[in-house]
Amino acid sequence: MSNWLLRNVTILGAAPTDLHLADGVIAEVGRGLATGGAQVFDAAGLVALPGLVDLHTHLREPGREDAETVASGTLAAALGGFTAVHAMANTDPAADTAGVVEQVWRLGRDAGHCDVFPVGAVTVRRRGEQLAELGAMADSAARVRVFSDDGHCVDDAVLMRRALEYVKAFDGVVAQHAQEPRLTHAAQMNEGVVSARLGLTGWPAVAEESVIARDCLLAGHVGSRLHVCHVSTAGSVEILRWAKAKGIRVTAEVTPHHLLLTDDLVTGYDPVYKVNPPLRTAGDVAALRAALADGTIDAVATDHAPHSLEDKETEWGAAAFGMLGLETALGVVAEAMVSTGLLDWAGVADRMAVRPARIGRLDGQGGPLEPGAPANVVLLDPAATVTVDPGSLASRSRNTPYAGMTLPTRVVATFLRGRPTVLDGKPAESGGPGGGR
Amino acid sequence: MMRHLLSAGDLSRDEALLVLDTAAEMARVAAAPVKKLPTLRGRTVVNLFFEDSTRTRTSFELAAKRLSADVINFSAKGSAVSKGEGLKDTALTLEAMGADAVVIRHAMSGAPHRLAGWVRGSVVNAGDGTHEHPTQALLDAFTMRSRLGRLEGLQVTLVGDILHSRVARSNVLLLRTLGAEVTLVAPPTLIPVGVEDWPAQVSYDFDRVLPKSDVVMMLRVQRERMGAVYFPSVREYSRRYGLDAARMAMLPPESVVMHPGPMNRGMEIAAEVADSPRSTIVEQVTNGVSVRMAVLYLLLGGAMGGASE
Amino acid sequence: MTTAPDPRRPRPVSGDRTAAHPVLDAADVTRVLTRMAHEILEKNGGADDVVLLGIPTRGSTLAHRIAEQMASVEQRTVPVGSLDVTLYRDDLRLRGVRALGRTELPPGGVDGRIVVLVDDVLFSGRTVRAALDAIGDLGRPAAVQLAVLVDRGHRELPIRADYVGKNIPTSLRETVHVLLAEHDGRDGVLIGPADLSRQESRQESRQESRQDTSS
Ligand SMILES: [Zn+2]
């Protein structure tokens, strides 16, 4: 069993201390711990956070293994500092049965780079017509708690109401991809001055906001948990703030790219900036940052969406929606939230590990870094910078919008239940299964 | 030397005027007994049309041939494109053929921008989706200048489906560069959200704008918009936004009526207006060839490769 | 789209003016043009059927001046036009795009007429070749003759002038500057060292009159 002593690490910005990881848990925390038989890791100047938890990852397996596999996607996650990801259900076949979610869960366990928690589809084949067997997925080995038709909106109000009600039986949550389909027919980018200039069909903010408002009202009415995926507009933030103030049990996530990038990047028609929901305006970015800082938005979720070259090297209108996110998430959040003073490292830990784990009802993920807790830890160097090179990403795809950008902080090491998955910013040697959970 | 013509907004005032002045000289060639110039002998111009447009393709073809370029028509139908080969692969094929210029018409906005990133030759946007059609705007400006003697200070009114019109976008940008003042007239459903950023006025009331218009440009209303709740009926559209003889009578005496074609006679423009002496519709077609000759000459005549002969 | 400087616009003479020395002064230019006007009249037995076509920019100016001289001798107007040869040049790839000069034929055109082409400097002969092609597309003259203010030699084509203001043997490392009051504020012809930047290759030195007066 691995046995590591992390010397002089800074936990959530406190004074440097030592962190002893043994037998998959945090054995001791304190200054000047005895080395014993442990491998010593000099972590001076490094910050330790609970291993990051992603609520929104597209691993593409089964179906599009050319773009990503569970193994490649989870390695990318580990390199990004994650110890758990939620694998979205829009695979082929869709993750709408216990069989498919168990397959994905096993693939994740076998790869061993991080824990994989499959998200179950809300409706059969994600078609928005009839509920999938939510209970069977919840009771499966994958223990599904998050359900989403992501990529599609559950736009039928009755179906959404029933889904919200039904998952209460196993403390599940419906994660809604809020996009009114009629208002976004053939939509290509945020509707505003840039879309008017570029002649691309607009994607109005109201198409997102109207669905969020309806779902908040529905969740309040039936007393269920609602999670809103990838919030992208200032108006959505206002609705969430109102719903939370009313006591509605709603949580929300924002992607790194919506915290940093704006729709004027579309000007060159490079589909690397084509994403759903679309990049919005600087005003929206400011509102999203403020909402993440004040907790109105609970979590950062990557919406890591790998696409093959042939799905992106096309005309804008023919290209697939989505961008990579796992390996750059922490750097982008550091740039958007930490460098700006909106969040400290404790805040980052809360939004990228603690709350996502809580929303997903994950035991053993999301900290705290205290004796007895599972040893899921990420070490980052806050003083370092990384220039994003698409060619050196672990993902099978290359559709990062950050190519050539220099982002603050670097993930130095990731430990999954005490075993290093990443050391010195590279995949750790050992690999192999980490022994499940 | 600019390598591509992708957007009318990329042209500075001097560049736009150079195109118009060059086109004026090209127009004289059209009047000469021999209409062909040796200027682009040995150059290859590819017409890459993913959308049917006989009118625009023919105009570019004639322009290239009058300058003695070799012209290849590469239409989407029956080509590799319809066999599922993407724009990128088509671009590589054109490269292998040694195309010096690619004139592209595409149903998707921004396709010429993508192509420009993949070929060494010059790319000319011959209309991309609902984005732009810069040579149309240049020929419109050329026509206005030859009819009215100036562009600076002209009051130009564009009427119709502004939302989906590449002609409108290019005209707004170019006319602004050349000092004209543009007013957009349309039902609110056919004005884009974000229009407030355009260098143009917006009006929903055609009759109020008519008396101060030096130029009225009527835009085609696409058949497919008619069933898509942008307006209640063709009859109502025509009554509120069509140009008929009564409305034409409200125009100042010297003003002209333009249409990029093809027209829906009786819908956005009445036949008697289209055929009136104010109408420039036939000249626009003629001028299109001269303007496209100018564009091809200016893009291709220059030292592109730099190598010796 | 940007291009080479507009040849229609007057441009300052460049190159090392201090190193350039005069070959013809203003009075010489006037005298030479008067002589050329007389030679044209003499050779063609008067001004009947004669049309002068100047090659823009300075050739057009010279054509107008010669036509005035002819007119004062003959007591009748002599038709003058301009012929821009840019679109007929064979060196577009080398020289880059330029704004087009004006082509304007006098009423009656060139069919059956004696066309006298007028240019400022005769050098490689390529401009004249282009002009001959251009005239061929405009009509069928009875004859085409060539008048130049300066013949500096170094022909690359079998072309010679019928009327020469002055033969000035030059080296390829020299530049001939033709100054005309309408463009340059005064008349004169200067010879000076060429821009080294333009003397790198024989191809570039083919550049004719316009280039010879610019940098
Ligand atoms: Zn989604």
On whether residue A168 sits in a domain, the answer given is yes
Q: What is the 3-state secondary structure (H, E, C) of chain A?
A: CCEEEEEEEEECCCCCEEEEEECCEEEEEECCCCCCCCEEEECCCCEEEECEEEEEECCCCCCCCCCCCHHHHHHHHHHCCEEEEEECCCCCCCCCCHHHHHHHHHHHHHHCCCEEEECECCEHHHCCCCECCHHHHHHCCCCCCEECCCCCCCCCHHHHHHHHHHHHHHCCEEEECCCCCHHHCCCCEECCHHHHHHCCCEECHHHHHHHHHHHHHHHHHHCCCEEECCCCCHHHHHHHHHHHHCCCCEEEEECHHHHHCCHHHHHHCCHHHCCCCCCCCHHHHHHHHHHHHHCCCCEECCCECCCCHHHHCCCHHHCCCCECCCCCHHHHHHHHHHCCCCCCHHHHHHHHHHHHHHHCCCCCCCCCCCCCCECCEEEEEEEEEEECCHHHCCCCCCCCCCCCCEEEEEEEEEEECCEEEEECCEECCCCCCCCCC
pLDDT of residue A435: 39
Q: In chain C, helix, strand, coil percent, each to 5? A: 35, 20, 45
On whether residue A434 sits in a domain, the answer given is no
pLDDT in tens, A191-240: 999 999 999 999 999 999 999 999 999 999 999 999 999 999 999 999 99
Ligand 1: distance of its center to the CA of A215 in Å? 15
Inform me whether the C-beta atom of residue A204 falls under 8 Å from chain B C-beta atoms: yes
Say yes or no: A96 and A200 in one domain.
yes
* CA C5 – CA B1 distance, rounded (Å): 12
The verdict on a CB contact (< 8 Å) between A269 and B110 is yes
Total Cβ atoms within 10 A of residue A34 = 9
Say yes or no: A160 and A224 in one domain.
yes
Residue B301: pLDDT band with limits 50, 70, 90: confident
pLDDT in tens, B260-276: 988 989 889 999 999 99
Residue B302: pLDDT band with limits 50, 70, 90: low
Residue B77: pLDDT band with limits 50, 70, 90: low
pLDDT in tens, A306-333: 999 999 999 999 999 999 999 999 999 9
Mean pLDDT estimate for chain A? 95
Residue A14 in this model has a pLDDT that exceeds 70: yes
Token representation of residue A136: 């069977």
Q: In terms of residues, how long is chain B? A: 309
Residue B100: pLDDT band with limits 50, 70, 90: very high
Tell me which residue in A192, A310, A316 faces B110 most closely, judged by beta carbons. Answer: A316
Q: Quick check: do A and C touch, 3+ CB pairs under 8 A?
A: no
The verdict on a CB contact (< 8 Å) between A199 and B111 is no
Proportion of chain A above pLDDT 70, given as a percent: 98
Residue A430 in this model has a pLDDT that exceeds 80: no
Tell me which residue in C1, C93, C136 faces B309 most closely, judged by beta carbons. Answer: C93
Radius of gyration of chain A measured on its C-alpha atoms? 20
Regions of chain C where pLDDT drops below 70: 1-18, 94-96, 195-215
Say yes or no: A273 and A383 in one domain.
no
Say yes or no: A301 and A409 in one domain.
no
Q: What is the CATH number of the domain that holds A336?
A: 3.20.20.140
Q: Are A142 and A169 in contact (CB under 8 A)?
A: no
On whether residue A415 sits in a domain, the answer given is yes
Say yes or no: A96 and A241 in one domain.
yes
Proportion of chain B above pLDDT 70, given as a percent: 93
* CA C83 – CA C60 distance, rounded (Å): 8
pLDDT in tens, B137-182: 999 999 999 999 999 999 999 999 999 999 999 999 999 999 999 9
Owning domain of residue A394:
3-47+372-427
Domain count, chain A: 2
Rounded to the nearest angstrom, the minimum Cα separation between B140 and chain A is 20
The verdict on a CB contact (< 8 Å) between B86 and A313 is yes
Report whether the peptide linkage leading into residue A233 is cis, meaning its omega lies within 30 degrees of zero.
no
User: What are the structural domain ranges in chain B?
Assistant: 8-132+285-300, 134-280
Say yes or no: A190 and A217 in one domain.
yes
* CA B100 – CA A28 distance, rounded (Å): 70
pLDDT of residue A36: 85
Fold classification of B8-132+285-300 (topology level): Rossmann fold (3.40.50)
Bridge-based pairing of strands C174-179 and C163-167 is unpaired
Rounded to the nearest angstrom, the minimum Cα separation between A79 and chain B is 32
On whether residue A390 sits in a domain, the answer given is yes
The verdict on a CB contact (< 8 Å) between C3 and B18 is yes
Q: Active-site residue numbers of A?
A: 303
Residue B80 in this model has a pLDDT that exceeds 90: no
* H-helix segments, chain C: 26-43, 58-74, 92-95, 126-138, 181-184, 202-205, 209-212
Residue B85: pLDDT band with limits 50, 70, 90: low
User: What are the structural domain ranges in chain C?
Assistant: 27-171
Last residue of a domain, one of A311, A338, A359: A359
pLDDT in tens, B183-236: 999 999 999 999 999 999 999 999 999 999 999 999 998 877 776 789 998 899
On whether residue A436 sits in a domain, the answer given is no
pLDDT of residue C8: 43
Q: Are A372 and A364 in contact (CB under 8 A)?
A: no
pLDDT of residue A231: 98
* Distance, C-alpha A81 to centroid of its chain: 11
* CA B282 – CA B274 distance, rounded (Å): 10
Token representation of residue C123: 């050098």
The verdict on a CB contact (< 8 Å) between B88 and A192 is no
* CA B13 – CA B16 distance, rounded (Å): 5
Using alpha carbons, select from B27, B34, B57, B20 the residue that is nearest to residue B149. B20
Q: Are B4 and B102 in contact (CB under 8 A)?
A: no
CATH top-level class of B134-280: alpha beta
Mean pLDDT throughout A52-71?
96
The residue in chain A having the minimum alpha-carbon distance to the alpha carbon of residue B118 is A313
Q: CATH number of the domain at C27-171, out of 3.30.70.2700, 3.40.50.2020, 1.20.140.10, 3.40.30.10?
A: 3.40.50.2020
Q: For B294, phi and psi rounded to 5 degrees?
A: -60, -45
Token representation of residue B3: 């390598």
Q: Is B8-132+285-300's fold the same as B134-280's?
A: yes
Rounded to the nearest angstrom, the minimum Cα separation between B110 and chain A is 6
Inform me whether the C-beta atom of residue B233 falls under 8 Å from chain C C-beta atoms: no
